[in-house]
Amino acid sequence: MDYNPHLQPWKRSEPNKEAGKGSIEIPDEIENIVHQTRSAPPSDFENQLGEALESIFGDGITELADIVDCLNKRGVHAPHGHKWTENSFCAEMSRLGA
């Protein structure tokens, strides 16, 4: 998804001419979701990893060791083409979530 589905609608049918009035959202009441503030679209690697994880979770697999095993069996390798380990997977999730 390339947009924020949680944006609040305008409170007035037309924008207010006063600066700062009638904005789309009140900053303190809206949580920015990560992809909304990302600096670039996901890379091919990130898309491939995300699709694999969606499928793995969809199959009901939730334990770290099983996730890593499934990624390796599916040929979805860690960065630089290495097989995943539990440590490398956790490190990559931390990097991507930063």
How far, in Å, are 8, 14, 98 from residue 84 at the CA level? 40, 53, 20
- Pick the more confident residue, 48 or 42: 48
Q: What is the C-alpha separation between 92 and 85, in angstroms, rounded? A: 10
pLDDT score of 98: 60
Q: What is the C-alpha separation between 82 and 62, in angstroms, rounded? A: 22
Average pLDDT for 74-96: 94
Where does the pLDDT of residue 33 fall: very low under 50, low under 70, confident under 90, or very high at 90 and above? low
8, pLDDT greater than 80: no
Contacts of 20 by beta carbon, 8 Å cutoff, 6+ apart: none
Asked whether the beta carbons of 71 and 84 are under 8 A apart, the reply is yes
pLDDT score of 97: 78
